[in-house]
């Protein structure tokens, strides 16, 4: 069974069943408290959860809706994001291709749940669909060949961006415009990719009010998942539960002519193949 870890009412849960009909089992209860109820501790003990999931008794599983899910990684020690990591997206932003990963931070207080609302703070709020890496085993100087062994799993996320704030100064600065309240929804759960042979070539996209806006394969990334993990670890130490946004493909609102920014009432559905869908209403 593929391990998927959701947070519901602040407790870690195994997810079973189809992504379209998910059911959950409380991790601590199912293991007689041999495993923790705290999602962050579960991410630090990922290999134990992987082993336990293989023999999980699913008879107590209950149905869960997207709206009931909390942010699956509630308290990451660090949150990284990579900018301009798809060629066509760099072009639509009028930026040259970065010679090394362009790293910025989305601050932790911007995290949001998979169906959380996002406040439209001005005229230039934008969406960015992204594949999000969740670190399992941390470390420094992780070589690319071992990088996946340090990844608990993937989430789908939105790197919501206040373009006005991002581009107000010269040079532009990313951290603040991407860290407003609710600007970092991720979910619907952390999906282990150990046994997914397509983990470097997944379909990623989003719709706004049902209209397709972003549509890509993740093998179009300039710097791939293993490279990003390895590169970050040459500079900083990675810790269990760290969140790494990996960049948005072509099709953000800012790239349209004229730009198409978010309005109150808009609904963005973001899907990553093999991982699931999050749905966020802009209010």
Piece of 72-80, 103-111, 144-152, 158-166 that binds Zn ion (CB under 5 A): 158-166
Piece of 125-133, 181-189, 198-206, 215-223 that binds Zn ion (CB under 5 A): 125-133
Least Å from the CB of residue 181 to Zn ion: 17
Least Å from the CB of residue 64 to Zn ion: 28
Which position among 126, 128, 162, 266 is part of the footprint of Zn ion (CB under 5 A)? 128
Piece of 41-49, 112-120, 212-220, 247-255 that binds Zn ion (CB under 5 A): 247-255
Three-point CA angle 72, 24, 4, nearest 5°:
50
Which position among 248, 270, 277, 280 is part of the footprint of Zn ion (CB under 5 A)? 248
In this structure, what DSSP letter does residue 95 have?
-
Three-point CA angle 8, 186, 29, nearest 5°:
25
Least Å from the CB of residue 159 to Zn ion: 3
Question: Phi then psi for 148, rounded to 5 degrees?
Answer: -65, -25
Give whichever of 56 and 133 is closer to Zn ion, judged by the CB atom: 133
Least Å from the CB of residue 124 to Zn ion: 15
Residue 283 neighbours by CB under 8 Å, 6+ apart = 117, 118, 119, 120, 264, 265
- Report whether 3 contacts 15 (CB < 8 A): no
Decide if residue 126 touches Zn ion (CB under 5 A): no
CA torsion angle for 36, 111, 137, 140 (degrees, to 10)?
-150
End-to-end alpha-carbon separation of the chain, Å?
Answer: 38
What are the structure tokens assigned to 93, written together?
């932003």
Least Å from the CB of residue 143 to Zn ion: 26
Residue whose C-beta lies closest to Zn ion: 159
Which position among 159, 192, 224, 242 is part of the footprint of Zn ion (CB under 5 A)? 159
Least Å from the CB of residue 162 to Zn ion: 12
C-alpha 86: how far from its chain's center? 16
Q: Which residues bind Zn ion (CB under 5 A)?
A: 128, 159, 248
């Amino acid at each position: 069974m593929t391990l998927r870890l959701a947070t519901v009412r602040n407790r870690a849960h195994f997810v079973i069943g189809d992504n379209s009909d998910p059911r959950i089992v409380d991790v601590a209860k199912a293991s007689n408290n041999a495993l923790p109820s705290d999602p962050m501790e579960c991410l630090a003990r990922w290999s134990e959860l992987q082993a336990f999931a293989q023999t999980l008794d699913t008879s107590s599983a209950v149905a869960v809706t997207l709206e009931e899910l909390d942010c699956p990684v509630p308290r990451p020690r660090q949150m990284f994001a990579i900018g301009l990591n798809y060629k066509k997206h760099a072009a639509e932003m009028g930026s040259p291709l970065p010679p090394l990963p362009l790293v910025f931070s989305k601050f932790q207080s911007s995290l949001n749940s998979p169906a959380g609302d996002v406040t439209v703070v001005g005229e230039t709020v934008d969406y960015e669909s992204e594949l999000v890496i969740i670190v399992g085993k941390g470390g420094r100087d992780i070589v690319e060949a071992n990088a996946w062994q340090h990844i608990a799993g993937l989430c789908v996320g939105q790197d919501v961006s206040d373009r006005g704030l991002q581009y107000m100064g010269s040079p532009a600065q990313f951290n603040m415009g991407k860290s407003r309240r609710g600007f970092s929804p991720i979910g619907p759960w952390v999906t282990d990719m150990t046994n997914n042979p397509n983990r470097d070539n997944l379909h990623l996209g989003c719709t706004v009010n049902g209209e397709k806006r972003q549509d890509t394969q993740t093998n179009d990334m300039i710097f791939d998942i293993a490279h990003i993990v390895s590169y970050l670890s040459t500079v900083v130490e990675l810790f269990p539960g760290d969140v790494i946004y990996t960049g948005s493909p072509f099709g953000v609102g800012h790239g349209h002519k004229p730009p198409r920014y978010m309005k109150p009432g808009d609904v963005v559905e973001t899907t990553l193949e093999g991982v699931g869908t999050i749905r966020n209403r802009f209010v």
